[in-house]
Structure 1
Amino acid sequence: MDIALLGNPNTGKTSLFNHLTGSYEYVGNWSGVTVEKKVGLFKNNKDKLIDLPGIYTLNPLSKDEGVVSQFFLTEYFDKALNIIDASQLPRNLHLTIQLLEYGKPIVIGLNMIDVAKQRGIKLNPQKLSELLGVPVVSVIARSGKGCDSLTKTATTNSASRTKNNLVYYGKELEAGVLKLEEMLKGKAAHSTRWLALQLFEGNQYVKNYLQTFIDNHILDELVQSIEINLKHQHGAKSLEQYIHEKRQEKIDTILSEAVVKGDQAKTTLTERIDTIVTNKVLGIPIFLTFMYLMFMLTFDWVGFPLSDLLDGFISGPLAGGIAALLTAVGATEFIHSLVLDGIVAGVGGVLVFVPQIFILFFFISLLEDSGYMARVALVMDRIMETVGLNGKAFIPMVIGFGCNVPGIMAARTIETPKERLLTILLTPLMSCSARLPVYALFVGAFFVQNKAFVVLSLYVLGVLTALILAKIFSSTILKGETSLFVIELPPYRIPQFQALWKSTWDKGKGFVKKAGTFIFAGSVFIWTLSYIGPNGFNVAMDDSYLAAVGGLFAPLFEPIGFGTWQAGASLLTGFFAKEAIISTMNIIYFVPDEASLQGLLAEYFTPLAAYSFMVFILLYIPCLATTATIYKETGSKKWTAFSILYAFFIAYTLAFLVFQGGKFLGLS
Structure 2
Amino acid sequence: MEESQDIDLVVAVAGSPNVGKSTLLNRLVGALSHVGNWPGKTVDIIAGVIEYKGYRIQIVDLPGTYGLSGVTEEEDITRKYLLGEYGERVHKHRRAICESCPFHRTCFFSQLCLVRLFSDFLHRRKKIYQRIYTPDVVLIIVDATVLEKTLYLAISILELTPNAVIALNKIDELEERGMSIDTQALSKRLGVPVIPISALKGKNIDKLLDAILSVWRRRISARRTLRINYGILEHYIQRIESLVRKAKLPPNYPRRWVAIRLLEGDHELFSKIKSLHDGVSSEIETVVSEVRKELGDDVSAVIARIRYNYIAEITRDIIKKKVERVPELSLIDRVFTHPLIGPIASILLLFVIFLAVFSINLGFPLNIALESLGMSSLAELLEEYSLVSLVDYLVSLGIDYIRALIEPYSVTLASFIADGVLGGFGLIMTFFPLIILVLFLISLLEDSGLAARITVAIDSLFSKFGLTGRAVFPLMLSMGCNVPGIMSTRTVMGKGERLGLILASPFIICQARLIVLIAIITVAFTSPIQQTIAFLSIFLISILLYLIMATIFARIFREEGEVRALVMDIPPVRRPSIRVAWWNAWIMGKEFIKKAGTIIVMLSMLVWFLLSYGPNGYTVDPDETYGAIIGKTLAPIAHLWGISDVNVAWKIVFALIYGFIAKEGLLVAIAQLSSKGVSFEEAWLSFGLTPIQSFAILLFFMTYVPCMATVITIRYETKSWRLTLLSIVILLITATILSTITYHILAIIF
Instruction: Decide: shared fold, TM above 0.5.
Output: yes
Partner Cα separation in structure 1 for residue 302 and residue 536 of structure 2: 50
Q: Tell me the CA shift for residue 351 of structure 1.
A: 5.0
Between the aligned partners of 1:205 and 1:246, the Cα distance in structure 2 is 23
Contact 1:441 1:598 in 2 (8 A): no
Across the aligned residues of Structure 1 and Structure 2, the Cα RMSD in angstroms comes to: 4.6
1:7 aligns with 2:18: no
2:266 match: 203
After TM superposition, the structure 1 = structure 2 runs for residues 98-247 of structure 1, keeping only pairs within 5 Å, are 98-116=156-174, 122-156=180-214, 157-159=216-218, 160-170=221-231, 171-184=234-247, 188-215=251-278, 218-229=280-291, 231-232=293-294, 235-247=295-307
TM-superposed CA distance for 1:83, in Å, is 0.9
Q: Match for residue 466 of structure 2? A: 388
Asked if structure 1 preserves the Cα contact closer than 8 Å seen for 2:66 and 2:153, the reply is yes
- Relative distance call for 1:176 and 1:354 in structure 2 (3 A) is closer
Contact 1:103–1:161 under 8 Å retained in 2: no
When residues 492 and 441 of structure 1 are mapped into structure 2, their CA distance, relative to the original with a 3 A threshold, is: farther
Residues in 1 aligned to 2:398 and 2:676: alpha-carbon distance in whole angstroms: 14
1:206-605 alignment runs, 5 A limit? 206-215=269-278, 218-229=280-291, 231-232=293-294, 235-260=295-320, 262-269=322-329, 271-277=330-336, 279-300=342-363, 304-306=384-386, 307-313=388-394, 315=396, 318=398, 321-326=401-406, 330-335=408-413, 338=416, 348=426, 351=429, 358-394=436-472, 407=486, 410=489, 413-415=492-494, 419=497, 422-430=500-508, 436-440=511-515, 443=518, 462-470=542-550, 482-509=563-590, 517-534=598-615, 538=619, 540-557=621-638, 564-572=649-657, 578-580=660-662
Give runs of aligned pairs for residues 639-654 of structure 1, distance below 5 A.
643-654=727-738
Q: Offset of 1:579 from its aligned partner?
A: 3.4
Distance 2:421 2:249 in 1: 65
Tell me which amino acid in the other structure corresponds to 2:287: S
Q: Deviations over 1:580-638 (max 9, x none)?
A: 555687578559999698677656789978886665454324655356468756x9x6x
Q: 1:111 to 1:377 in 2, by over 3 A?
A: same
TM-score normalised over the length of structure 1: 0.79
- Is the contact between residue 2 and residue 77 of structure 1 (CA under 8 Å) also seen in structure 2? yes
Output one character per residue of 1:159-200: Cα deviation in whole Å (capped at 9) or x when no partner. Answer: 234532531223423422441354246753332222222222
Does residue 712 of structure 2 align to residue 625 of structure 1?
yes
Q: Deviation string for 1:338-381 (max 9, x for gaps)?
A: 55666666765775566555545544444444443333322321
TM-score w.r.t. length of structure 2: 0.72
In the aligned structure 2, how far is the partner of 1:498 from the partner of 1:598?
A: 44
Distance in 2 of aligned mates of 1:506 and 1:444: 36
- The DSSP-based 3-state class of the residue aligned with 2:188 is helix
Q: How far 1:281 moved relative to its partner?
A: 3.6
Cα distance, 1:177–1:363 mapped onto 2, change above 3 Å: same
- Residue pair 1:346, 1:582 contacting (<8 A) in 2 also: no
Question: Quick one: structure 1 residues 255 and 610, their matched pair in 2 at CA, closer, same or farther if it must change by over 3 Å?
Answer: farther
Taking structure 1 as reference, are residues 389 and 326 closer, same or farther at Cα in structure 2, changes over 3 Å only? closer
Per-residue CA deviations over 1:448-487 (Å, capped at 9, x if unaligned) read 99x9x99999876544322234556789998998533122
Aligned-residue offset at 1:320? 5.3
Deviations 1:207-236 (A, max 9, x none): 333334322x5324324325525743xx35
Match of 1:30 in 2: none
Structure-2 change in CA distance of 1:592 and 1:421 (3 Å): closer
8 Å CA contact retained: 2:142, 2:151: yes
Match of 2:27 in 1: 19
Q: Deviations over 1:106-158 (max 9, x none)?
A: 21111223444566754222211122121111112222222222122122234
**Secondary structure, counterpart of 1:11 in structure 2:** coil
- 458-467 or 141-150, which deviates more: 458-467
CA distance in structure 2 between the aligned counterparts of 1:350 and 1:607, rounded to whole angstroms: 36
State which of 39, 51, 54 in structure 1 corresponds to 2:61: 51
SS in 2 for 1:92: helix
User: Is contact 2:439-2:484 (8 Å) kept?
Assistant: no
User: In structure 1, what is the Cα distance between the partners aligned to 2:399 and 2:291?
Assistant: 81
Q: Kindly tell me: are residues 162 and 397 of structure 1, through their superposed partners in 2, closer, same or farther at Cα, counting changes over 3 Å?
A: farther
Q: In 1, are the aligned partners of 2:191 and 2:222 still within 8 Å (CA)?
A: no
For 1:144 and 1:541, the matched residues in 2 are separated by 59
Where does residue 61 of structure 1 map in the other structure? 71
Structure 1 CA distance, aligned partners of 2:230 and 2:246?
A: 20
Shift of 1:100: 1.8
Q: Is the 8 A contact 1:304 1:356 kept in 2?
A: no
Residues in 2 aligned to 1:65 and 1:359: alpha-carbon distance in whole angstroms: 30
Assess if the C-alpha contact under 8 Å between 1:620 and 1:648 holds in 2. yes
Which letter does structure 2 place at the counterpart of 1:4? A
The residue type equivalent to 1:540 in the other structure is D
CA distance in 1, matches of 2:256, 2:158: 11
Contact in 1 for aligned 2:13/2:60 (Cα 8 Å): yes
Letter of the structure 2 residue corresponding to residue 11 of structure 1: V
- CA offsets, 1:488-509, max 9 Å, x none? 2334444444444444444555
Q: Please, which runs of 5 or more residues in structure 2 have no aligned partner?
A: 1-8, 35-40, 86-132, 367-381
Q: 1:254 to 1:366 in 2, by over 3 A?
A: closer
8 Å contact from structure 2 (residues 501, 554) kept in 1: no
Report the Cα offset of residue 41 of structure 1: 2.0
SS of 1:145's partner is coil
Q: Which amino acid aligns with 1:84?
A: V
Query: Deviation digits for residues 10-40 of structure 1, max 9, x if unmatched?
Result: 11122211112222479xxxxxx99344222
Change (3 A) 1:532 1:620: closer
For residue 47 of structure 1, report the CA deviation from its aligned partner.
1.5
Give the SS at the match of 2:317: helix
Which residue number corresponds to residue 72 of structure 1? 82
Change beyond 3 A, Cα 1:274–1:351:
same
Distance 1:293 1:648 in 2: 32
Question: Would the aligned equivalents of 1:62 and 1:413 in 2 still touch at CA under 8 Å?
Answer: no
Q: What is the SS of the residue equivalent to 2:224?
A: coil
| AA in 2 matched with 1:305 | Y
Q: What SS does the aligned partner of 1:102 have?
A: coil
How much identity, in percent, do the aligned residues show? 27
Q: Count matched residues.
A: 643
Partner letter of residue 288 of structure 1?
Answer: F
SS in 1 for 2:198: coil
Q: CA deviation at 1:67?
A: 0.6
Identify which range, 85-94 or 54-63, moves more after superposition. 85-94
- Assess if the C-alpha contact under 8 Å between 2:142 and 2:168 holds in 1: yes
Counterparts in 2 of 1:539 and 1:406: CA distance versus 1, 3 Å: closer
Q: Which is further off, 158-167 or 578-587?
A: 578-587
Q: Give, in whole Å, the separation in 1 of the partners of 2:734 and 2:571.
A: 37
| Deviation, structure 1 residue 424 | 4.8
How far is 1:407 from its partner? 3.5
Q: d(CA) in 2 for partners of 1:508 and 1:303?
A: 25
Separation (CA, whole Å) in 1 of partners of 2:678 and 2:208? 58
Paired AA for residue 224 in structure 1? T
Higher relative contact order (CA 8 A, sep 6+): 1
Partners of 1:381 and 1:274 in 2: CA distance: 15
Gaps of 5+ in 1: 27-32
